[in-house]
A and B are shown apart, each in its own frame.
Chain A
């Protein structure tokens, strides 16, 4: 029976050598006799990456849980609908714009509510809102292209893009432009299937673009999609028992029986806010978080109009 062959590449400049197994000991001896590679730094002497500067999320409980949002890193928050993702985003935008930073929101599904933002004290002058998938207003490109072709001129090539593709290109441009304090991508209403289809290379590119910059890249969605590119990964969930507090302001005490409930007029009830539980799933700066990995906070309803 022929002895198995062992493949070994002695050095970068040497061809691959196949040797029988019994000669492996001899080969190892020869390899050990070769001069050692130079220019390779031992792992123990590798330079430590400095910890990123943290900025406030605008919510005490979240700051206590994560230490804030890391600059130059990708932070991802996910959770189902009504789990408080957008509230956290607004709080982060408010905090950043009040620090006089210029922020950008890439709104993939055009769901941003200006009234909520104003109520959350976001400085709207400092927020760039990009509405992906929003209908083009004013100018009909398809007709213009047709006419331009008629005139014998070069028509600009119209590329039909989905909102997610638009969002990725826009984010790329914003990050390359630089100077933004916070760039947020809102993927909350994007179906999980589609969100997961975003290539990992895009997230790597984004992460690489914000590295060593003071920009906070903030992503919210239904499922985690940036995977290992996210430095900070948080899961949010609304706690089921006290999602609403309908009887708080009007009656003072909660009715207990169904009859009593029926007597309460619906307009006497009020949505008071969301109670949100946050769970820290990953924080790459710390191998093992010493603090609690859970936090709870309540969002407050503010009626406008």
Chain B
């Protein structure tokens, strides 16, 4: 019964390197603690080679200039752990969360799907690398052997069944002990001269039990690779959130875009590994100063009134998408139109997971814009004409002549067309409908009445003169029970223009007594 283990060495460093991969070639140390008393919590291989040890103070390290020092980020560690869970979940549904840096999972039944065990192990390592984590992967016939091998051997290790003790024999005894705190048992082994697992496995069982108790026996069984236990499966929640804590406040849009790009790529990789897409992206920025009272220029939806240091934007997409570049461009356009207004210290980006869109366009369906391209185009157009000026129309259920509202443009998928060509079918009406062109806002007019109907109009330089013909009034009113009540008389009039006769809709507002030229029949 094969099991696999993914182990990320120097997990706090790796979690930080996910957002700063360019530091991978340098010696990085992670510090923990309050400002004057910061101590080294973890360091990568290069840092260890250069002499950095856990527990060293910041002052001791600062003597050397080659180190990159970063504060420990629990946020980024949580995101990296979620990514690790997603990585395992993309291969097997039965996974065990054995720590922030270690995930165990069951490989039973996966060989027909993903190939032989070595290939699965290599694919796992590659997938973890795509998630920004350099991980060790080990496959063995029991859970603990897989875990020890992953902790002890770098890269990909596959231990055949029955050869556990032989494969583990060269590993140091320290691999049995998790954590940086030195264990008394480890010190005992050190005093006995037991340096590796081969030595521990060779110790007599009874004598070891007498001296170290059941703990000693368990450790020996681990060293022999003969212990077996059952997997404790967990169901990781479908939460896709990435976060970055910044060393310095970010004030420019360009570096913010750069960071967002990385976060989006990681988020999309995680969603893709779970065969999911997203229809809603939430960006939350923690600001350094927050908004002041006189700077209240943010839309109410964008700023939480309870915490003025948090700036939020939500991108809702009409169809599920999974393209980091498109998300980035949409966020960029949105932030350009709605800047956060203060330096940024933390970035949170989360995605609402949904099932990906499954659509197959037919050969005989009319062309329609690709949803990804359309969304990007709409965002760009919104940047040009402003929010609320682009979209599709919805006629409201009212008698008000201007009863409509704009809504998000999301055309429905075309259905199968009637096989008859359009030109062959007979339209229901042979003539076109007379269109009205609305003047927004309506033009004020001075109207002279004769026998109760308009006889002369003066509106602008272009629109003035005798009314050649008038029909009306068509009286309508509504919403009288509200403050926005309206009551009006409509007239259709014909006025001589320079070389032609123009038809207009003239409105007499009965509440204000004003005459307004509302539109032109065209």
Q: A residues bordering B, Cβ < 8 Å?
A: 55-56, 58-60, 63, 68, 80-91, 95, 98-102, 110-121, 124-141, 143-148, 150-156, 161, 166, 169-170, 173-174, 176-181, 188-189, 214, 237-238, 240, 243-244, 246, 262, 266-267, 269-271, 273-274, 297-303, 305
Contact = CB atoms under 8 A, between A and B. Distances in A.
B372 to A, nearest CB: 10
A120 B435 contact: yes
A136 B472 CA distance: 36
- Residue from A166, A237, A305 having most chain B Cβ neighbours under 10 A: A305
A121 to B, nearest CB: 8
A39 B342 CA distance: 63
B377 A174 contact: yes
B389 A179 contact: no
A81 B520 contact: yes
Contacts, number: 299
Contacts of A177: 369, 373-374, 376-377
A81 B369 contact: no
Nearest to A236: B522
Given A128-B378, A173-B381, A177-B374, 16 more contacts: A84-B432, A89-B435, A95-B422, A111-B519, A114-B404, A118-B395, A121-B433, A124-B393, A129-B391, A130-B389, A144-B339, A153-B341, A154-B251, A244-B503, A298-B431, A302-B433
B390 A131 contact: yes
B373 A178 contact: yes
B299 A139 contact: yes
Contacts of B492: 244, 271
B470 interface: yes
Contacts of B399: 305
5 contacts: A83-B500, A87-B434, A130-B381, A238-B500, A271-B503
Contacts of A300: 429, 431-434
B368 A99 contact: no
A297 B494 CA distance: 20
A150 B295 contact: yes
A272 to B, nearest CB: 9
Contact of A131 (B373, B389, B394, B521): B389
Given A113-B435, A178-B369, A240-B501, A153 B385 contact: no
Interface string B365-402: 11111100110111011001111111111110001010
Interface of B: 251-254, 289, 291, 295, 297-299, 336-343, 365-370, 373-374, 376-378, 380-381, 384-395, 399, 401, 404, 406, 409, 411-412, 414-415, 417, 422-423, 427-440, 451-453, 469-474, 476, 491-492, 494, 497, 499-503, 519-522
- Most A CB contacts (10 A, CB to CB) among B367, B434, B453, B503 go to B434
Contact of A116 (B433, B473, B474, B503): B433
A153 B288 CA distance: 12
B253 A156 contact: yes
B500 A80 contact: yes
B520 A82 contact: yes
A115 B289 contact: no
Contacts of A128: 378, 390-392, 409
A156 B394 contact: no
B385 A131 contact: yes
- For the complex of A and B, the 10 pairs showing the least CB-CB separation, nearest first, are A179-B369, A136-B386, A86-B435, A137-B388, A269-B471, A143-B297, A86-B522, A177-B377, A120-B433, A100-B414
Nearest to A114: B404
A119 B338 CA distance: 37
A302 B453 CA distance: 22
A274 B503 contact: yes
B369 A60 contact: no
A55 B367 CA distance: 14
A87 B522 contact: yes
A215 B19 CA distance: 43
Nearest to A84: B522
Given A95-B422, A101-B366, A140 B297 contact: yes
Contacts of B343: 151-153
A3 B392 CA distance: 73
A266 B453 contact: yes
Nearest to B298: A144
B401 A305 contact: yes
A161 B384 CA distance: 9
Contacts of B338: 139, 144
Nearest to B469: A244
A84 to B, nearest CB: 7
B436 A214 contact: no
A86 B502 CA distance: 14
A120 B433 CA distance: 5
Nearest to A169: B384
B125 to A, nearest CB: 40
A261 to B, nearest CB: 10
A180 B377 CA distance: 12
Given A117-B393, A274-B503, A59 B341 contact: no
Given A68-B423, A246-B471, A153 B252 contact: yes
Nearest to A63: B423
Nearest to A107: B389
Contacts of A56: 422-423
B388 A138 contact: yes
Contacts of B252: 153-154
Contact of B341 (A119, A144, A176): A144
A181 B367 CA distance: 7
Given A82-B502, A110-B440, A173 B380 contact: yes
Contact of A58 (B381, B385, B388, B432): B432
Given A238-B501, A246-B471, A99 B417 contact: yes
Contacts of B337: 139, 141, 156
Contact of B385 (A116, A130, A189): A130
A297 B431 contact: yes
